[in-house]
Structure 1
Amino acid sequence: MAIEGDSMLVELTAGQRVAALNHVALLRAQLMGGNCENDVARFIAEMRDVTDSNYQDNKRALSAIFFLANIGKDRHSADFTDLTTDERNALIRAMNHLKAVVSLFPKRMTLSN
């Protein structure tokens, strides 16, 4: 019995997508020792790059991620390696949340003139 194309697709709510991404992150850590520290530290460094033409917006976006992770404003400038394990996990969960909801954005958005 083969699985037909459209029958393989399942609509997931934003919450289900977030839960799935977090579950995959836990499995990756358990099975593969998935240490994403370097990747997240690189992402944070890129968002804080003052030579980027979008530096101000990147800084605001990064602050929004820290806010979503319930990390206090006084810790928003901390390096990833300086965060506690709970803060790191919260940050990754917040990033997974954003990843899930961004995938639901409308496909063809336009800007007004």
Structure 2
Amino acid sequence: MAITADRISVPLSAGERLNGLNHIAELRTSHWGDSWPEVARFIEDLCDKRDAQYDENSRALAAIFFLARVPAARQALGPHALTLEEKRAVISAMNHFRAVVSLFPKRLTLPR
């Protein structure tokens, strides 16, 4: 039996991808529980001053917190001190970056 559809997949906008990723995150929570410990580990890893890319990691983390609208004073408290709303906003911001990055051009080259 042949597939008669025009396309197997449909391109999604960044917003559609974000909505899908957030929906999947809700489903995962209901089936597998809270993944915040993994997110907290990720945040703590980006705060590791021994990492050679510490400055860039700090900027990336600041971008996530900025997109999540977490106030700077709250960011310094650590990932476990965030409120439930802030945690949800951070995960949504991370999903937003994932949605956008998936649309990046493939095989990027550095200009000369």
TM-score, scaled relative to structure 1:
0.90
- Matched residue pairs, number? 112
1:28 counterpart residue number: 28
Unaligned residue ranges in structure 1 (runs of 5+): none
Alpha-carbon offset, residue 3 of structure 1: 4.2
How many angstroms does 1:33 deviate by?
Answer: 3.7
Report the equivalent of 1:41. 40
| Structure 2: distance between partners of 1:38 and 1:64 | 20
Distance of aligned partners of 1:53 and 1:5 in 2 relative to their CA distance in 1, 3 Å threshold: farther
Structure 2: which 5+ runs fail to align?
none
Aligned-pair identity in percent equals 49
Tell me the residue number matched to 1:51. 50
Q: Structure 1 residues 3 and 89, CA, compared in 2 at 3 Å: closer, same or farther?
A: farther
In structure 2, the partner of 1:12 is 12
TM-score scaled by length of structure 2? 0.91
Residue 7 (structure 1) shift: 2.4
The structure with higher relative contact order (CA 8 Å, sep 6+) is 2
3-state SS of 1:7 partner: coil
* 2-structure distance, mates of 1:107, 1:72: 34
Find the aligned partners of 1:3 and 1:77 in 2 and give their Cα distance: 54
